Structure 1
Amino acid sequence: MENTLNEISISYSREFKLSRSFVKNSGDAHKYFFKSWNKETIELFEEFKILLLNNASEILGIYTVSKGGVNSTVVEIKHIMYIALKTNSSSIILAHNHPSGNLKPSSADLKLTERINDACKIMDLHLTDHIILGRESYCSFKDEGYL
């Protein structure tokens, strides 16, 4: 009996020729995340997204990692690393919304960010920021000294 293995294929392509967009600060990151968020659901359930950047801080894309309930969503770190590596990203920015409107990071938010940052270091990725969005404003982990 012959041993056979499945061949794994990994691919990434940019489907659209977009005008070049760059992220220089948390305000830029918030702007691009907010544009991608469904305004009708931002106060209904929590979502977690990542902004993927190349070495020049040019946006490669935004990816929705998960959608959850009123006060949480499941985030798998290996899934974030998979997407970042598959797109050959140099850095990532995390974002999630707080349906309550309270933009202060929870202890779970801080712990998750620390674990993702540790994974990024191992994979030679840079975790640039983590943004918490509300309908009217945002909190930047980098600007607030959490990252």
Structure 2
Amino acid sequence: MNRLKIKELPISERPYEKLEAIGSEHLSNAELLAVIIKTGTKSFTAVELAQLVIKLSHDGRLSTLNNLSIEQLKKIKGIGKVKAIQIKAVLELSKRIATSDGIVHHVIKSAKDVNTLLMEEMRYLKKEIFKALLLDTKNQVIKITDVSIGSLNSSIVHPREVFCEAIKCGCNSIIFVHNHPSGDPTPSAEDIKTTQRLDESGNILGIRVLDHIIIGDGIYVSFKDKGII
């Protein structure tokens, strides 16, 4: 049986035309991605290629697509270098929009709030990423900034770099977050040592360190809850 190409489908079923006619909110995830992919192959339509990309996500979670590398995307027959780069660019842009200064403004009342905000973004990362949540006097997020990439130690996470952005933003307090790619959020001795050093630096600068949260695979550890800081 011959397969229909997208251009042979009814106009109401073509992603481009469908988006223009009824709005992007009515398209499926695969259809939206197909608009970016643009063209299919002899074997797959653009929508079917998009479905194959989505299948690479962990448990179907779109948030984990951002962790896919260009090489992983290129393993799908029909996704070449250009398409893979386009997909990565769109995923990164969507992440930045979701955490932009004008949108975040979450109020952090507990470690659970931080977990809700960052767990899905960080639980599947292959490298350790150290982030700082900069808060105002109402514990509202001003900005989320990446401080370092790599194993956490005092030589990589230096107070100068950590608090430079905090001072620029005029933040009142700060929460540190990093992930353990192993999935086990148990703090290491270096985690504790570095955090205590940052806490001392914060006291000197008048910027309170409210917590340090380590994210694992679906679980987290709060230094505040554990009485470490």
Q: What does the per-residue CA deviation read over 1:84-139, in whole Å, with 9 as the maximum and x for residues that have no partner?
A: 10110000000111111221111111110110000000000010000000121100
Larger Rg over CA atoms: 2
- 2:198 is the alignment partner of 1:113: no
Supply the RMSD in Å over aligned alpha carbons: 1.6
Measure the CA separation in 2 of the matches of 1:111 and 1:133: 18
Between 1 and 2, higher relative CO (CA 8 Å, sep ≥ 6) is seen in 1
**For 2:110 and 2:182, how far apart are their aligned partners in 1?**
25
Q: Match of 2:199, as an amino acid?
A: N
Task: State how 1:16-35 maps to structure 2 within 5 Å.
Answer: 16-18=101-103, 20-35=105-120
Partner SS, residue 114 of structure 1:
helix
| CA–CA separation in structure 1 for the residues paired with 2:201 and 2:119 | 26
Q: TM-score, normalised by structure 1?
A: 0.80
1:33-85 CA deviation, whole Å, 9 max, x = no partner? 22543x55x2x2111000010011011011011112xxx14212110110110
The structure that is strand-richer by fraction is: 1
Q: Find 1:134's aligned residue among 209, 213, 216.
A: 216
2:159 to 67, 72, 77: 77
TM-score (norm 2): 0.52
Closer, same or farther in 2 for the Cα pair 1:23/1:79, shift >3 Å?
same
Cα separation, 1, equivalents of 2:177 and 2:101 = 23
What is the SS of the residue equivalent to 1:112? helix
- Residue correspondence of structure 1 range 1-147 to structure 2 within 5 A: 16-18=101-103, 20-37=105-122, 40=124, 42=125, 44-68=126-150, 72-73=151-152, 74-147=156-229
User: Who is 2:65 aligned against?
Assistant: none
Deviation beyond 4 Å, 4+ runs, structure 1: none
Flag the structure with higher helix content. 2
Over 3 Å counting, the alpha-carbon distance change for 1:35 and 1:60 in structure 2 is farther
Q: How many residues align?
A: 127
